[in-house]
Amino acid sequence: MIAFQGKLAAFEFNHWQHHIPIPDDISSQMMDKKHRRVLIWINEEGPYHMALMKAKDYWYVLINKELRSRFKLDEMQGFSVKIDRDHSEYGHEMPEELQVLMDQDEEGADYFKKLTPGKQRMMVYTVTKVKNPESRMRKALAIIHHLKLTKGKLDYKQLNELIKYYNKL
């Protein structure tokens, strides 16, 4: 883990503008050709799963509005940042609810494992971001059901409808 003094910066050309520049000597230690996922701690709180991204002149991690508000980050004031490689399989911790379903449903697990790493990460995050265990279970059920219905092809509109259906149960 490497600690440094971070500073919020913003691009002027798109809505994903707020970010923390990561010094080249640090970013080079955190990645290789196939791995750019990192864990970030801000002011000793975290970790937050993120990805190193490349701007024209430097590497950075995106900072969403929720984190900017939570830590009262602005472009004028520095803050403590710690960074480490993310060794998790999916770029997020696997939620217990989704893991239990995959352990019990071989067909659903096979379809999940055939998704691209980015799609796997998105499905894990879809379940992880929910705080309530019952709601996490319903989302996990909807995802596995959807993968089986579509034979592993993600249709986000259809998946969202299935999630709404499961949320009503």
By the 8 A CB rule, do 2 and 26 touch?
yes
Identity at 14, one-letter amino acid code: N
* 34 has a pLDDT exceeding 70: yes
Asked whether residue 146 is assigned to any structural domain, the reply reads yes
pLDDT recorded at residue 14: 64
Note whether 20 and 80 are same-domain residues. Answer: yes
pLDDT recorded at residue 130: 86
CATH number assigned to the domain comprising residue 14: 2.40.30.100
Mean of pLDDT values over 74-81: 92
Note whether 75 and 118 are same-domain residues. Answer: no
Tell me the per-residue pLDDT of 120-161, one tens digit each, with 9 for 90 and over.
Answer: 989 998 998 888 989 999 999 999 999 999 999 999 999 999
Domain count along the chain? 2
Residue at which a domain ends, from 28, 50, 85: 85
Residue-range definition of the domain harbouring residue 118: 96-167
Q: Is the dihedral of CA 105, 107, 109, 112 positive or negative?
A: negative
Asked whether residue 90 is assigned to any structural domain, the reply reads no
Asked whether residue 115 is assigned to any structural domain, the reply reads yes
pLDDT recorded at residue 147: 95
Note whether 51 and 32 are same-domain residues. Answer: yes
